[in-house]
Structure 1
């Protein structure tokens, strides 16, 4: 794979007007490349879809339909995450911030809101028609952006952009399988299409890498992590508030709320403990890191859903055992720790002790499942000790300094 990228855009370069600029690739070394207000607005609208998927997961788990809930959540979260990924990496390479670019991005936001409206129907009845249409709206906008980038470029850069446009279009047609095939085949069609979707960037950039910006990409992922964790806090707070209005079980709810909050705080600390943009040198590192965030984002959002299930079980609303309700918190909590270590933190850990902290803590959080009605509190305490151990070990053997 060639690591060449388009040359940096020079100040005062070819920009026709604020309404329409030439969509040239941005420079990998561009200074002060940060998230824009439009990107932040985009993320906030996507979290609406995350919240809807989380609510459906809560309902399924609370009713004892764990397999249906987990499979449905994994499918719906993939559609949300992948649409966010598509825009984020394109924007990092080609954001012109002109009027046309902003309008097309707002169309993509409209698409994700349509998708959000269709999640309950897809989750409960296997009807993906609204989700597919929302994806179609987003994909038409994305393809138009890639075509615009292609027509503004020459040579290998143009071919890369047109490959993206063709690949995204073909995959959108392939998703018709989830509309017309039998219900029992839909999960397998979904899996195949998800793999094909993830193959598009690797194939499109096989001969030329787009001009995504390492610091910008790292910041975008970090900001989305913050927003997802914020949604988790919100969901957990609403669950506890609702329970308090109908129950006097303070002795159970307060430890659960404290443990959940500690777990979320620790998740934030763990994720932002290392300067990951220094690791993102090329597609070889960045694609694996970016794809791995399906587990990071999905587990972070699922922690909030799990806390809601645990609260409902504590006040007698959920038809599941204490261990099952506890696992709704401990499993995503452990998965978050392990996946952050696997794709993110381990690149900056020095020595065996630092490398073992998160994997061992993930196992300890899982073990908390069997701690009865104090499982969530104990998981939060384990996560807190994990942060403390990480801080102490980093002072004795600090990571490499930022370049």
Structure 2
């Protein structure tokens, strides 16, 4: 829900353009939401248990998510305090759970829990200290804490590799979040049908939007299903950090569909928004899925040629097309082509390497 609300930051166009401050604030609002959710997801992946303490923390985090979601607004400064309290509250509740593991376990689980507990405590403390700073300085301090929070698990990669994530469970959790965000694309179309008379033009736009959603679903879950069955040992960083860009891309694509239906965005602005959504999706899935394919010897990093070529070609085509409808239809074609290539490559796997 909160991530869907964050995507609406891009939904208000003025004079045919999305305001620059909205473009900047979209990732600044989105990243804390993604990281807050990711933090507890990874705790459950390594140390989750069906206990009263964990259930209580779930409920506490839900409360803080409500606080964050209620304070998502382009006028970020006016809503800043409660948004920050919601974020820090979620992070500190996760710190508490790691502290419990630190106190109750010995050996490697204790080392991993203590490292993550202290790392996230440092990041949360920096973010919370932003209340002491005036004006825009508080935003820099808030995001300094978030950057520290995100970077320290990467710095501790060697330790975290010794207690790898449960790969299947991790892919499953991120897959569920992806389904929710794909649902946002469908809701945009449903909202148009409910509140506006369905014409030939709007019906065509809905059909194209639906084909984009299908192409993304097809590509993502075709790739995800294969990787979920791989027995991967490691901290799962490509999956974790790659999904930030997947989620950002889906938020952008939902707005592309919205603007294709209401025609409030100028042609060039629409083309750039459409290309950004496609580019982020392609780059994110390369990050998430490419390391595993490469490790099987199926594809080397030279195999990046086709997605990068597709990105460049997509950018050129979208920016040269003469109408918004043409750009929108071309975007759908590029998503479908990307999905078809992935399916074709999966079928071309050597039998000895198939699962």
Normalized against structure 2, the TM-score is what?
A: 0.85
Given the alignment of the two structures, is residue 137 of structure 1 paired with residue 89 of structure 2, yes or no?
yes
Compute the displacement of 1:176 (Å).
3.3
Compute the displacement of 1:340 (Å).
0.8
Contact kept, 8 Å, 2:122 with 2:149, in 1: the verdict is no
Q: May I ask how many residue pairs the two structures share in their alignment?
A: 343
C-alpha deviations, 1:299-319, integer Å up to 9, x for none? Answer: 112210221123222xxxx3x
CA RMSD, Structure 1 to Structure 2 (Å): 2.8
C-alpha deviations, 1:173-200, integer Å up to 9, x for none? Answer: 2113554545444554455333211123
2:151 to 175, 199, 222: 199
C-alpha deviations, 1:72-123, integer Å up to 9, x for none? Answer: 1101110110011101110011111122211111111111111101111x64
CA distance in structure 2 between the aligned counterparts of 1:341 and 1:216, rounded to whole angstroms: 20
Greater fraction of residues in helix: 2
Structure 1 residues 209-228: aligned runs within 5 Å = 209-210=162-163, 212-228=165-181
Structure 1 stretches lacking a partner, 5+ long: 1-47
1:6 equivalent in structure 2? none
CA distance in structure 1 between the aligned counterparts of 2:85 and 2:101, rounded to whole angstroms: 24
Contact kept, 8 Å, 1:146 with 1:161, in 2: the verdict is yes
2:347 equivalent in structure 1? 395
1:327 equivalent in structure 2? 272
CA distance in structure 2 between the aligned counterparts of 1:196 and 1:172, rounded to whole angstroms: 9
Contact kept, 8 Å, 2:3 with 2:30, in 1: the verdict is yes
CA distance in structure 1 between the aligned counterparts of 2:14 and 2:50, rounded to whole angstroms: 42
1:292 equivalent in structure 2? 242
Contact kept, 8 Å, 1:354 with 1:390, in 2: the verdict is no
Contact kept, 8 Å, 2:249 with 2:278, in 1: the verdict is yes
CA distance in structure 1 between the aligned counterparts of 2:133 and 2:261, rounded to whole angstroms: 38
C-alpha deviations, 1:267-294, integer Å up to 9, x for none? Answer: 11111223224273212xx213311211
2:204 equivalent in structure 1? 255
1:373 equivalent in structure 2? 324
Normalized against structure 1, the TM-score is what?
A: 0.76
CA distance in structure 2 between the aligned counterparts of 1:257 and 1:172, rounded to whole angstroms: 43
C-alpha deviations, 1:105-164, integer Å up to 9, x for none? Answer: 1111111111101111x6444541111111232123212211111111013432331232
Contact kept, 8 Å, 2:123 with 2:146, in 1: the verdict is no
Contact kept, 8 Å, 2:270 with 2:324, in 1: the verdict is no
Shift in CA distance, 182/328, structure 1 to aligned 2, threshold 3 Å: farther
Given the alignment of the two structures, is residue 309 of structure 1 paired with residue 259 of structure 2, yes or no?
yes
